[in-house]
C-alpha cells in the first residue's frame, strides 16, 4: 500500500477561473507544501509560475494524469492575510485569482532558473543598500516642533490608536502647507516603536521623488525601508518585495503597485493624497489601491489614515457621516497666507487686449490682458510665475486654409498634435497622443494640394514661444513630459525652478506636483474650461482638486511676513460653482454641493457602477455585442429596480490604434446586487469566449468595477 499522494492546487497568470492540480514530491522539493508557496509547474507544453492555493490528498481530476510540481521558490509562503486580500480583489474586480496575484510578484521571483542563486543576489543587494543607505535624511520635524494644530491631530491619532487590533479609518484633511505629512510620519514613527511592526505608506506616482524618500527616511533612522514604484529596477524591486514579505523591512513606501505587497506584520496604512486618480490601475486587474488598502486595514484590524487637502467625495462623505474619524488640520504651518483667487472672464472685452494697448503682442494674444499685466507685475516683484495648460505640443491640430482638411490620426478617431522641432525629435512632427503614431508634417494639403497649412489652438510649446515674445528678457522654462524626456527628467527641471533660475514656467499639471517652491508669486490656469467641459460627471471634482493643488503652490511661499501668491483662472464661466467655491477657499462647501448633486442624480458615491468594455475591428460589432449582453441580462431577470443597465455607447475616444471601442454602464444602489450581476455577466461572457475574446465576432471585452472616468 502506497502513501497517500500530496496534491496541491495551483493558480497561474491566465484568465482562467479554475486552478490546476499537481502532485507534490516532498523529497524532491525539500519541503512540505503550504498555501501561498510560489512554484514552477509544467503547463501545456511549457513551464509557468504559479501559486499554491490548496493542499490535499486527492484530486477531482484523474490522479494518474496529474503532473508534478517542478520547483519551489526559495521564499516563505505568502501570509494568509495577503492571500485574503488577493482573493477579495479577484472577486471584487471580477478577474481570475491567478491573474490578480501573479502580476503583483516582482519578475525576479518569477524566473525559476534564478531561484538557486537568489540568496546570493539578496546578499549583494544588501551590501549595495548599505552604501545607498548613506543618503542624507532631510526634512525631519519631530513631535516637539509641531504646531498646536498638528499636535492636536497627532494626539487624536494616538489616543485611540495604541489599542491593538482595531480597525479605524481616519480622514486627515488640511490645506497644502498645513503639515499633514509631519503629522502622519510622527504617527507612523510611534507605531514603529514596536520592533516587528510594519507600516505601508502609499503616495501618488508623481509624488514619490528622491526628496520624499529622504524625508520619510529621516523619521525612521534605525528602521529598514523598502521603496516600490515603477521606476525602481527589477532587481531592487524584487529585493524590496522580499524584505516586505519576510517582515525584514518596517516601512514600505510605494505607489499604487505597493498596495498589494505582502506584509505579515502590517500595523498601519497611510494613503497620502488619497483622492489622486493614479491610485486606480488602468490595465489588467483594474483595482483602486486606496479601496484595497481600506479593505486590507479592515480585514487585518489595523488603522488606515487617508490624507488630502481635497478628499475624494467618497472619503469626505464617509468622514462627514461619522463612518470615518475626521481630523482637520486647517492652520497653515509656515505662517503663509492663502493665495488670492482671481477669475478672469474671457468673454469680458475689458480683460482682452485691444489694438491700442502698448503692451499688446503683435499676433492675437494667447492670454488675456489682465493676466499679462499680472505677470509683468510678478516679474517686477522678482517672483516666479507658473502658467498651466494641460495640452502638450505646439498645436492640437493642423488645418488647411483652403479646404476642410484637418490632421487626423489614421488609426484613431483623434487629431494628431503638432510638435515643433526639438520636442519629440529633430524635426517638427504630427503626433497622435492616443496611439503614439508619429508622422512628418505634409508640405501640401493631402486633400487639395494647398501649401498654406495653419495650426489651430495652442499647446505648451506655442505658449512658450508667445511668452518669450511678450517678455523677451524673462527666463522661460517649459515643463511637460516632452521637455522632461529631453533633459535629465522632470527632477532637473524642478530643480531649476527651485533654484530661482527661471522667471516664467509654462507647463502641464505636472508642474503642480511634488516640489516645494519658495518664490512663486503667480499661478495661472488657462484651460480650466476644457477640463470642466467633459461628459464625465467627475470632471468638476477633479478640476477642483487640481485648482486647489496649484493654488497651494502659489500660497506656499513661506518667507515670513510675505503674502501668499495669486492664482488666476481664465474662464468663460466664472459663475460656475467650482470657481465660486474656490474663490472662497471653501473645500467643504464644494464637497457638500457636489454631494447633493450626486445624491439627486443617483451617481457615485450614492450608487455603484461598473463598465463592460468591448473592443473590436468595427464599432458596429462592439455595440451589437453589448446590446446582446444587455438583452441577455434582461431575459435572465438581472435588470431590476435596483440594477440599471444603460444602452451601449461608443467610448469618448471611439477608435484607438485601429480598434473601435464601446462601453456598457451598469449601476446599482446596492453593492451586493451589482456584484452578483457582474459575476453573472462574467460567467456568461466567459462561456462564449476564449480568454477575454468572444468566439463570435472576436470582441475583446473587460469588466471594470468603480470606473473613474465614464
Annotated binding residues: 400, 403, 409, 412, 432, 435, 445, 448
In angstroms, the CA 135 to CA 211 distance is 10
Using CB under 7 A, which of the segments 44-52, 227-235, 272-280, 608-616 binds DNA? 44-52
Residue 532 C-alpha cell reads as: 470642466
Decide whether 122 or 702 has the Cβ nearer to DNA: 702
Decide whether 122 or 453 has the Cβ nearer to Zn ion: 453
| Residue 529: how many other CB atoms lie within 10 Å | 16
Task: Please report how close the Cβ of residue 60 comes to Zn ion at its closest, in angstroms.
Answer: 48
Q: Which residues between 48 and 67 bind DNA (CB under 7 A)?
A: 59, 61, 65-67
Strands (DSSP E) along 526-648, which ranges? 566-571, 608-616, 643-645
Residue numbers of the site for Zn ion (CB under 5 A)? 400, 402-403, 405, 409, 411-412, 432, 434-435, 437, 445, 447-448, 450
Decide whether 14 or 342 has the Cβ nearer to DNA: 14
- Please pick, from the candidates 45, 164, 426, 473, the single residue that binds DNA as defined by CB under 7 A: 45
Query: Peptide bond preceding 18: is omega within 30 degrees of 0, i.e. cis?
Result: no
Q: What burial letters (b/e) apply to 326-364, b meaning 16+ CB within 10 Å?
A: bbbbebbbeebebbbbbbbbbeeeebbbeeeeeebeeee
User: Which one of DNA, Zn ion, none interacts with residue 411, CB within 5 to 8 A by kind?
Assistant: Zn ion
Decide whether 563 or 697 has the Cβ nearer to DNA: 697
In angstroms, the CA 570 to CA 389 distance is 11
Locate cell 468595477: which residue? Answer: 705
Residues 6+ positions from 23 with CB-CB distance below 8 Å: 5, 6, 7, 66, 67, 68, 69
Locate cell 480598434: which residue? Answer: 659
Residue 530 C-alpha cell reads as: 476644457
Residue length of the chain: 710
Task: Please report how close the Cβ of residue 204 comes to Zn ion at its closest, in angstroms.
Answer: 27
Task: Please report how close the Cβ of residue 41 comes to DNA at its closest, in angstroms.
Answer: 7
What DSSP element (H or E) covers 525? strand 520-525
Using CB under 7 A, which of the segments 8-16, 117-125, 388-396, 488-496 binds DNA? 8-16
User: Which one of DNA, Zn ion, none interacts with residue 5, CB within 5 to 8 A by kind?
Assistant: none
Q: What is the CA radius of gyration of the chain?
A: 28
Output the 3-class SS for 43-61. ECCEEEEEEEEEEECCCCC
Strand partners, 431: 417, 438
In angstroms, the CA 198 to CA 213 distance is 17
Locate cell 515603477: which residue? Answer: 230
User: Which one of DNA, Zn ion, none interacts with residue 15, CB within 5 to 8 A by kind?
Assistant: DNA
Rounded to an integer, what is the distance from CA 63 to the centroid of its chain? 46
Decide whether 359 or 447 has the Cβ nearer to Zn ion: 447
Decide whether 63 or 456 has the Cβ nearer to DNA: 63
Query: Peptide bond preceding 605: is omega within 30 degrees of 0, i.e. cis?
Result: yes
Q: Which residues between 665 and 704 bind DNA (CB under 7 A)?
A: 689-693, 695, 700
- Please pick, from the candidates 11, 21, 146, 343, the single residue that binds DNA as defined by CB under 7 A: 21
Strand partners, 598: none
Strand partners, 52: 10
DSSP state string for 93-151: TT--HHHHHGGGS-GGGG-GGGSTTHHHHHHHHHHHHHHHTTSPP-----GGGS-HHHH
What DSSP element (H or E) covers 628? helix 619-635
Task: Please report how close the Cβ of residue 627 comes to DNA at its closest, in angstroms.
Answer: 20
Using CB under 7 A, which of the segments 42-50, 240-248, 457-465, 467-475 binds DNA? 42-50
In angstroms, the CA 705 to CA 710 distance is 12
Task: Please report how close the Cβ of residue 286 comes to Zn ion at its closest, in angstroms.
Answer: 22
Binding-site positions for Zn(2+) read 400, 403, 409, 412, 432, 435, 445, 448
Using CB under 7 A, which of the segments 41-49, 538-546, 630-638, 657-665 binds DNA? 41-49
User: Does residue 250 bind DNA (CB under 7 A)?
Assistant: no
Decide whether 60 or 447 has the Cβ nearer to Zn ion: 447
Task: Please report how close the Cβ of residue 19 comes to DNA at its closest, in angstroms.
Answer: 7
Task: Please report how close the Cβ of residue 94 comes to DNA at its closest, in angstroms.
Answer: 13
User: Which one of Zn ion, DNA, none interacts with residue 358, CB within 5 to 8 A by kind?
Assistant: none
Q: Are 622 and 699 in contact (CB under 8 A)?
A: yes
Decide whether 513 or 651 has the Cβ nearer to Zn ion: 651
- Please pick, from the candidates 11, 20, 275, 581, the single residue that binds DNA as defined by CB under 7 A: 20
Strands (DSSP E) along 572-646, which ranges? 608-616, 643-645
Q: How many residues bind DNA (CB under 7 A)?
A: 25
Decide whether 104 or 255 has the Cβ nearer to DNA: 104
User: Which one of DNA, Zn ion, none interacts with residue 14, CB within 5 to 8 A by kind?
Assistant: DNA
- Please pick, from the candidates 6, 14, 345, 673, the single residue that binds DNA as defined by CB under 7 A: 14
Q: For residue 360, give the DSSP letter.
A: -
Decide whether 43 or 88 has the Cβ nearer to DNA: 43
- Please pick, from the candidates 25, 26, 32, 42, the single residue that binds DNA as defined by CB under 7 A: 42
Contact positions vs DNA (CB under 7 A): 14-16, 18, 20-22, 41-46, 59, 61, 65-67, 689-693, 695, 700
Amino acid at each position: 500500500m502506497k502513501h497517500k499522494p500530496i496534491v496541491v492546487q495551483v493558480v497561474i497568470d491566465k484568465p482562467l477561473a479554475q486552478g490546476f492540480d499537481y502532485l507534490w514530491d516532498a523529497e524532491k522539493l525539500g519541503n512540505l507544501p503550504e498555501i501561498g508557496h510560489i512554484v514552477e509547474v509544467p503547463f501545456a507544453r511549457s513551464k509557468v509560475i504559479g501559486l499554491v492555493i490548496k493542499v490535499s490528498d486527492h484530486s477531482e481530476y484523474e490522479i494518474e494524469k496529474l503532473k508534478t510540481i517542478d520547483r519551489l521558490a526559495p521564499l516563505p509562503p505568502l501570509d494568509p492575510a495577503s492571500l485574503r486580500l488577493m482573493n477579495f480583489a479577484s472577486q471584487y474586480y471580477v478577474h481570475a485569482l491567478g491573474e490578480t496575484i501573479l502580476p503583483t510578484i516582482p519578475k525576479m521571483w518569477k524566473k525559476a532558473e534564478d531561484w538557486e542563486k537568489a540568496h546570493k543576489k539578496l546578499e549583494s543587494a544588501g551590501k549595495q543598500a548599505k552604501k545607498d543607505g548613506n543618503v542624507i535624511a532631510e526634512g525631519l520635524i519631530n513631535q516637539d516642533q509641531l504646531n498646536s494644530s498638528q499636535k492636536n491631530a497627532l494626539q487624536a491619532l494616538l489616543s485611540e490608536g495604541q489599542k491593538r487590533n482595531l480597525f479605524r479609518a481616519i480622514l486627515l484633511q488640511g490645506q497644502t502647507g498645513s503639515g499633514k505629512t509631519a503629522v502622519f510620519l510622527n504617527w507612523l514613527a510611534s507605531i514603529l516603536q514596536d520592533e516587528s511592526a510594519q507600516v505601508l505608506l502609499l503616495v501618488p506616482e508623481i509624488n514619490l521623488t528622491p526628496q520624499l524618500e529622504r524625508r520619510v527616511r529621516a523619521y525612521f533612522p534605525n528602521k529598514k525601508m523598502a521603496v516600490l514604484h515603477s521606476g525602481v529596477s527589477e532587481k531592487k524591486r524584487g529585493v524590496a518585495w522580499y524584505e516586505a514579505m519576510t517582515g525584514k523591512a518596517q516601512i514600505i513606501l510605494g505607489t499604487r503597485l505597493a498596495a498589494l505587497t505582502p506584509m505579515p506584520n502590517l500595523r498601519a496604512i497611510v494613503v497620502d493624497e488619497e483622492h489622486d486618480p493614479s491610485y486606480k490601475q488602468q490595465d489588467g486587474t483594474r483595482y483602486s489601491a486606496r479601496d484595497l488598502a481600506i479593505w486590507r486595514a479592515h480585514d487585518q484590524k489595523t488603522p488606515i489614515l487617508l490624507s488630502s487637502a481635497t478628499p475624494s467625495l467618497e472619503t469626505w462623505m464617509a468622514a462627514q457621516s461619522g463612518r470615518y474619524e475626521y481630523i482637520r488640520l486647517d492652520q497653515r504651518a509656515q505662517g503663509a497666507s492663502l493665495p488670492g483667487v482671481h477669475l478672469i472672464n474671457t468673454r469680458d472685452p475689458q480683460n482682452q487686449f485691444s489694438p491700442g494697448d502698448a503692451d499688446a503682442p503683435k499676433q492675437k494674444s494667447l492670454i488675456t490682458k489682465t493676466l499679462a499685466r499680472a505677470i509683468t507685475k510678478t516679474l517686477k516683484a522678482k517672483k516666479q510665475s507658473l502658467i498651466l495648460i494641460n495640452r502638450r505640443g505646439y498645436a492640437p491640430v493642423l488645418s488647411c486654409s483652403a479646404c476642410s482638411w484637418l490632421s487626423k490620426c489614421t488609426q484613431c478617431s483623434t487629431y494628431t498634435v503638432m510638435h515643433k522641432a526639438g520636442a519629440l525629435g529633430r524635426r517638427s512632427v504630427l503626433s497622435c497622443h492616443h496611439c503614439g503614431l508619429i508622422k512628418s508634417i505634409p508640405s501640401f494639403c493631402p486633400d487639395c494640394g494647398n501649401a498654406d497649412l495653419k495650426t489651430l489652438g495652442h499647446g505648451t510649446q506655442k505658449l512658450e514661444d508667445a511668452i518669450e515674445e511678450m517678455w523677451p528678457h524673462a527666463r522661460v522654462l517649459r515643463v511637460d513630459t516632452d521637455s522632461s524626456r529631453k533633459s535629465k527628467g522632470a527632477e532637473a527641471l524642478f530643480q531649476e525652478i527651485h533654484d530661482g533660475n527661471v522667471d516664467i514656467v509654462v507647463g502641464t499639471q505636472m508642474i503642480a506636483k511634488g516640489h516645494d517652491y519658495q518664490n512663486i508669486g503667480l499661478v495661472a490656469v488657462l484651460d480650466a474650461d476644457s477640463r470642466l467641459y467633459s461628459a464625465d460627471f467627475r470632471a468638476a471634482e477633479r478640476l477642483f482638486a487640481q485648482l486647489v493643488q496649484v493654488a497651494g503652490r502659489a500660497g506656499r511661499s513661506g518667507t515670513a511676513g510675505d503674502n501668499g501668491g495669486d492664482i488666476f483662472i481664465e474662464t468663460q464661466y466664472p459663475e460656475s460653482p467650482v470657481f465660486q467655491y474656490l474663490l472662497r477657499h471653501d473645500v467643504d462647501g464644494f464637497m457638500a454641493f457636489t454631494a447633493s448633486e450626486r445624491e439627486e442624480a443617483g451617481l457615485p458615491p450614492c450608487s455603484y457602477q461598473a463598465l463592460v468594455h468591448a473592443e473590436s475591428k468595427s464599432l458596429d460589432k462592439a455595440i451589437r455585442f453589448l446590446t446582446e449582453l444587455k438583452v441577455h441580462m434582461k431575459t435572465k431577470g438581472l435588470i431590476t429596480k435596483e440594477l440599471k443597465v444603460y444602452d451601449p455607447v461608443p467610448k469618448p475616444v471611439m477608435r484607438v490604434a485601429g480598434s473601435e471601442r464601446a462601453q456598457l454602464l451598469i449601476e446599482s444602489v446596492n453593492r451586493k446586487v451589482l456584484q452578483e450581476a457582474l459575476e453573472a455577466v462574467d460567467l456568461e461572457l466567459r462561456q462564449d469566449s476564449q480568454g477575454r475574446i468572444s468566439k463570435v465576432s472576436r470582441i475583446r471585452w473587460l469588466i471594470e468595477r468603480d470606473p473613474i472616468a465614464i
